[in-house]
Amino acid sequence: MTESIRLLIADDHPVVRNGLRSMLAMHPNFEVVGEATTGLEAVELTAKLRPEVVLMDLNMPEMDGVAAIGKIKEQQPDTNILVLTSYGSDADITKALEAGAIGYLLKDAPRQELFEAVLHTAQGKSLLGQAVAARLVERMRGPTAEALSIREIDVLTLVSKGSSNRQIADQLYVTEATVKTHLIHIYSKLNVSDRTAAVTKALEQGIIELRR
């Protein structure tokens, strides 16, 4: 590949953006055409600048990374998105890939791994960073017999934040009875008997991740 690959960096931390721009400048075929500081700005700049690859953080203001990924793929389906984030839980990975990202890399990945991920993403090839792939393999080999659904992960994430069944129902626009049914399924899949044990086990296995 000899033509320049046009890149958009989407991250709300200026130090991270500067570091990425400097690192990517070391590759002769990479051209950073823009930087977005919010999820919404990432969507707008992608439409305006038409980069081949968007490097997307997940923890973004205004519109989170997953929502921004979905909106970008809806509006610019030919744009390929590489998640570059600090979060590597099963829930984060699953949601990002389902939203339309084709690559997932942690920010502490070596420079060469980042370059390889960008090249793969530009070519429309899926690539998971070594640490991310290792997590998924570990999960598949783990004791959980059946994976939680996206909605069950949503419920458990809200439980981890101390939300009551009523609050969870309100936030997810479902009934309390539906929330209770999800919790029963969660307990069964995780082989636990209460909310605290479910959250503890999910955190241990990387199914959910506490946000500061």
Domain locations in the chain as residue ranges: 5-139, 150-204
- Is domain 5-139 annotated with CATH 1.10.730.10? no
What is the pLDDT at residue 141? 46
Which of the residue ranges 7-21, 26-40, 92-106, 173-187 would you say has the lowest mean pLDDT?
92-106
Give me 97's structure tokens.
């890939």
What is the pLDDT at residue 134? 55
Above pLDDT 70, what percent of the chain?
A: 88
pLDDT band at 149; cut points 50, 70, 90: confident
Q: What is the pTM of this model?
A: 0.65
Which residues lie below 8 Å from residue 209, measured CB to CB, with a gap of 6+? 87, 89, 91, 92, 203
What is the pLDDT at residue 92? 77
Residue 140 has pLDDT above 50, yes or no: no
Query: Mean pLDDT across the stretch 18-36?
Result: 94
What's the chain's average pLDDT?
Answer: 86
**What kind and span of H or E run contains 184?**
helix 176-190
* CA gap 203, 205 in Å, rounded: 5
pLDDT band at 107; cut points 50, 70, 90: confident
Q: Which of 107, 104, 20, 118 is nearest to 66 (CA)?
A: 104
Which of the residue ranges 15-24, 83-92, 188-197, 198-207 would you say has the lowest mean pLDDT?
83-92
pLDDT in tens, 186-211: 988 888 888 998 999 888 888 887 76
Compute CA distances 106 → 21, 78, 83, 85, 202, whole Å. Answer: 16, 23, 8, 5, 20
| Edge-to-edge strand list for the sheet holding 53-56 | 30-36, 5-10, 53-56, 80-85, 103-106, 127-128
pLDDT band at 151; cut points 50, 70, 90: confident
- Is domain 150-204 annotated with CATH 2.60.40.10? no
What is the pLDDT at residue 150? 84
